[in-house]
Amino acid sequence: MRKLFEFIRSVYVVVLFVVLEAVSISYYARSSYYTQARLLSRSNQVVGSVHGLFAGIGHYFTLGRENRMLLARVTQLEERLAQYEEAATAERLDGYMQDIGESKYRFATASVVANTVNRTRNLITLNRGHRDGIVEEMAVLSPDGAMAGYVVACTERYSVAMSVLNTSFRASGKLADSEYYGSIYWDGLDPDVVVLGELSKYADPQPGQEVVTTGFSQYFPADVLIGWVESASLNETRTAYTARVRLAAGMSRLGEVVLVGNRDLFEIRDLQQSEQVEQHTRP
């Protein structure tokens, strides 16, 4: 007991200092709305830095796997380029590319700073923002080109995407090599499986069949891989199928992502919301 008292006597000054500092900071934080806002801003910066530090450590240990994925992707692109070169002479190919002009889509890459998969409304935080050319509603794809989500908010240096594992997520998908399409959403049950609903009763989806995007969505280009049919069943009225689709993107392992932006998106949206169009949709 005597040693305990001696220990307390030796450290009580430090403990008292820490307690007084905590009380002072608490009083300062409550003194005005301005100080509350300043402290909240500082705390957000600290949290962001900590997330970034741990994300960097995690990325370091996954570099081998990501390099293998990138190498496989480069190999696929090299094979496709070789096919183009065999199909046409360089002069014809150059002429074709000039006729095409600028691509409808633009691409960027980003690292995942934070990502959740165990909630009903999961989000992905990325280390790219407005200053890097990232804007809201850009598609987010895994490194091998599979659907992962889309951007919903941006600051100058960061952006947040709605994960495909979010019960508010919606996109259109179809069975590959067919015209049967439906709505892609997550039911909040399995983080590796999404649902393809409202699929025609004539579609007859089969296990293992590939599911891709339709291109109808404002976020995703056509034929982006979503996953593969795991099971399917007709609804009670036997008028439509509901298929469970195993995701191609490993959502719990996302380290790097590809962002895709539709250059025509805002022009199309402005047109759809114009007075000329609205006057034809009013009751």
pLDDT, greater one: 138 or 280: 138
Query: Which residues lie closer than 8 Å to 217 by C-beta, 6 or more apart?
Result: 171, 172
Considering the domain boundaries, does residue 211 fall inside one? yes
The count of structural domains within the chain is 3
Q: Are residues 220 and 207 in the same domain?
A: yes
Nearest-CA neighbor of 167 among 131, 112, 226, 123? 123
Q: Are residues 207 and 79 in the same domain?
A: no
Give the amino acid at 168: S
Nearest-CA neighbor of 112 among 254, 247, 250? 254
Q: Are residues 168 and 215 in the same domain?
A: yes
Q: Are residues 97 and 152 in the same domain?
A: no
Q: What is the pTM of this model?
A: 0.66
Contact 210, 159 (CB under 8 A): no
State the average pLDDT over residues 75-83: 62
Give the pairing of strands 240-247 and 181-185. unpaired
pLDDT for res 1: 62
**Number of neighbours of residue 27 by Cβ within 10 angstroms:** 10
Q: Are residues 157 and 227 in the same domain?
A: yes
pLDDT digits (tens, 9 = 90+) for 103-121: 678 888 899 999 999 999 9
Q: What is the 3-state secondary structure of 99-137?
A: HHCCCCEEEEEEEEEEECCCCCEEEEEECCCHHHCCCCC
Nearest-CA neighbor of 196 among 152, 147, 237? 147
Q: Are residues 45 and 70 in the same domain?
A: no
Contact 112, 257 (CB under 8 A): yes
Q: Are residues 28 and 145 in the same domain?
A: no
Considering the domain boundaries, does residue 280 fall inside one? no
Contact 254, 142 (CB under 8 A): yes
Considering the domain boundaries, does residue 52 fall inside one? yes
Q: How far apart are CA 1 and CA 7, in angstroms?
A: 10
Question: What is the share, in percent, of the chain residues with pLDDT greater than 90?
Answer: 45
Q: Are residues 85 and 148 in the same domain?
A: no
Percent of the chain as helix, strand, coil, to the nearest 5: 40, 30, 30
Query: Which residues lie closer than 8 Å to 10 by C-beta, 6 or more apart?
Result: none
| Confidence band for 27, pLDDT divided at 50, 70 and 90 | low
CATH number of the domain residue 256 falls in: 2.40.10.340
pLDDT digits (tens, 9 = 90+) for 190-228: 999 999 999 999 998 999 999 999 988 778 989 999 999
Query: Which residues lie closer than 8 Å to 115 by C-beta, 6 or more apart?
Result: 122, 123, 124, 125, 163, 251, 252, 254
Question: Mean pLDDT score of the chain, rounded to an integer?
Answer: 80
| Confidence band for 4, pLDDT divided at 50, 70 and 90 | low
Q: For residue 199, give its domain range.
A: 108-263
Considering the domain boundaries, does residue 274 fall inside one? no
| Confidence band for 135, pLDDT divided at 50, 70 and 90 | very high
pLDDT for res 280: 66
Report residue 130: phi and psi, to 5°: -60, -40
pLDDT digits (tens, 9 = 90+) for 140-160: 999 888 999 999 999 999 999
Among 54-58, 219-223, 244-248, the minimum mean pLDDT is found in: 54-58
Considering the domain boundaries, does residue 273 fall inside one? no
Considering the domain boundaries, does residue 88 fall inside one? yes
